[in-house]
Amino acid sequence: MTRSPRNDRPVVIAGGGIGGLACALGLAQRGFRVTVLEQAHQFGELGAGIQLGPNAFHVFDALGVGPLVKRDAVFIERLLMMDGVSGEEVISVPLDAAFRRRFGNPYAVTHRADIHRALLEGCRGLPRVELRTHAKVAGFAQEGRGVSVQLDGGERIAAAALVGADGLYSQVRSRIVGDGDPPASGHMCYRAVLAAEAMPKELRWASATLWAAPNTHIVHYPLRGWKLFNLVATVVRDRAMGGHNEEASPEEVLPLFAKNCELPMQLMRTPKAFRRWMLRFRPPVANWTQGAVTLLGDAAHPTLQYMAQGACMALEDAVCLAVAADAADGDFPAAFQRYQALRLVRTARVQLSSIMLGHLFHADGVARLVRNEIYRDRTPASYHQALEWIYRAPDYVVAANPKAKGRRKPPPARRTQPKRIRTMTARKPKRAPSKRRR
Ligand SMILES: Cc1cc2nc3c(=O)[nH]c(=O)nc-3n(C[C@H](O)[C@H](O)[C@H](O)COP(=O)(O)OP(=O)(O)OC[C@H]3O[C@@H](n4cnc5c(N)ncnc54)[C@H](O)[C@@H]3O)c2cc1C
C-alpha cells in the first residue's frame, strides 16, 4: 500500500451500510482516499439475522475481516426446505466438509450488526477513510472527470468519484436510472428475534430452515452462538400495502400463516410481537453507471430475499469495484464501466432467480406436490453442483485475497460468471433434519 493517497479528491460513498463500508475498506486498502456519507445519526444495522454464503466469506477474507465475522457466526449444518402443509422434508443441502472444500469457505448465519461492526472497525483502522454521519446525499453534478456531490443542507464536496451505496431508495440511482421509488413487491415480512430458551425445543435445528406453504414461507435459524433465533415469516399480499419496521401483533400475523401444520405454527405463536416490512423490488437494468458515478448493492440491483444473496452481492460488488479502480489506477469512469460489466449478469441472475424461487416456495395444490416430487431424493453432490454458480466466488474476488492459496487469475474482460453451471439431475436418499448443535 502506498503511503500518500492515490487521489487528491476523495471517492465519496453515499451510504454506510454493509455495501458502502465494504467498498470503503476495499478502496482504502488499495491506497485510495474515501469519504463515507451516512444519512443516519450513527452507523449501524437492523437488529436481525442474515445468511452468508461462502461467496460472502471470500469477500470478508479479501478485506481482512474474515476472522472477525467468523468469530460471531453460527456454522449451521444444512439448508432445509420443509413442506409447511405436510411437515415433510423437501430439500436438504448439507453444509459439510465436502461443501466447504468445494467452495473454499463455510456457510454461516450471523447478526447483521456483527458484520457491520467488523467492516466499521476495519474502516476506522485506516486513516484514508473519513466516516461522516448526519450526511445525506441529495444530488450530484459531473465536473470534468470528477463529481460535485451535494448534501442535504447545501454543502458540496468535490470528489474524484461517487459511489451510490444508498440502498433501495437511492438518491444517486434516481439521477442515473430515474425509475422512481421501488414498487412494493406484495411480499410482507414479519420479523422477530427470539431468545434461545423461547424457541420451541423441537425446532432448535442447526440449519437455516424454510417452511414453504401456499403464498407464505417461514424462515428460522440460530444466531450469536445459539443465544438467539432469527424468525422471518413472509406472506404475499396486496401490492399496495406498505410497511417499514412497524410493530405487528400476533392477531394480525397468525391467520395469514394458518395453512401451515402444527410445528411451524408453534413457532409462529411464540413472539409477542413482530416487526412488519413490505419488501420492495426492481427488475434488473442494463446500466447503473454515469461517468465517475456508479451504484452498488441494493441501489444497483435490489433483490427479493429468496436466495439470501442481497448483502452477499453488495459485498462482491465492493471488492470488484475496488479491484477495478486499482487496475485503472484511479481512472474512475473506466473503472466503473469495467466493474459494471463484470457484475451485471451475475447480479441480474440473482434478481431473476429469486423471483423464480419464490414461485417454487409458494406453490399450491398439485403444483406443490409436483415441486416436492422434483426435489425428492436428490444427492448432496447434485445440490452442491446446482449452487456452484452462486457460492463459488468470482475470480476477481478470489484474486483480491492476498492470502488465498493458488489464487485464480483475474478474468478476461468479457467473462462475467463461472463457466461451470449445471442443473440439478442426480438423486439422493432422504434424511431427517439434524438437531445436533455445533
Ligand atoms: C427480509 C430480508 C432478509 C434478507 N436476508 C438476507 C440474507 O440472508 N443474506 C443476504 O445476503 N441478504 C439478505 N437480504 C438483503 C440485504 O439485507 C440487502 O441486500 C443489503 O442489506 C443491502 O446492503 P446495501 O449496503 O446495498 O444497502 P443498505 O443496507 O440499505 O444500506 C444503505 C445505507 O445508505 C444509507 N443512505 C440511504 N440514503 C442515503 C443518502 N441519500 N445519503 C446518505 N446515506 C444514505 C442508509 O441509511 C443505509 O445505511 C435480506 C433482505 C430482507 C429484506
**380-411 per-position pLDDT tens digit:** 999 999 999 999 999 999 999 877 755 555 44
Q: What's the CA gap between 149 and 316, in Å, rounded? A: 25
| Ligand 1 atom nearest 172 alpha carbon | 41
- pLDDT digits over 175-220, tens only? 999 999 998 888 999 999 999 999 999 999 999 999 999 999 999 9
Q: Cα(166) to centroid of ligand 1, in Å?
A: 8
For ligand 1, atom 39: residue with the closest CA:
166
Shortest-distance atom of ligand 1 to CA 135 = 43
Domain spans in the chain, listed from the N-terminal domain onward = 11-75+105-181+283-358+392-404
Q: Consecutive 10-residue runs of the chain (438 residues): their mean pLDDT?
A: 80 98 97 97 86 97 95 94 97 97 96 94 96 98 94 97 97 96 90 95 96 97 92 85 84 97 98 92 96 98 94 98 96 97 98 94 96 93 96 94 62 42 33 38
Nearest C-alpha neighbor of 71 from the set 25, 103, 28, 117: 117
> Element (H or E) spanning 332, and its range?
helix 332-361
For residue 22, the ligand 1 atom closest to its alpha carbon is 25
Which of 163, 145, 131 lies closest to 321, judged by CA?
163
Residue 253 near residue 204 (C-beta atoms within 8 A): no
Please give the single-letter amino acid code of residue 365.
G
Q: Which three cell numbers stand for residue 215?
A: 403464498
Q: What is the pTM of this model?
A: 0.91
CATH class held by domain 11-75+105-181+283-358+392-404: alpha beta
Residues 6+ apart with CB under 8 A from 82: 88, 89, 90, 209, 210, 211, 212, 264, 433
Residue of 140, 232, 305 with the most ligand 1 atoms within 8 Å of its CB, for mutation: 305
Name the closest-CA residue to atom 15, ligand 1: 310
Centroid of ligand 1 to alpha carbon of 38 (angstroms): 13
Q: φ, ψ for residue 69 (rounded to 5)?
A: -70, -40
196 Cα–ligand 1 center, Å:
26
Contact 371, 362 (CB under 8 A): no
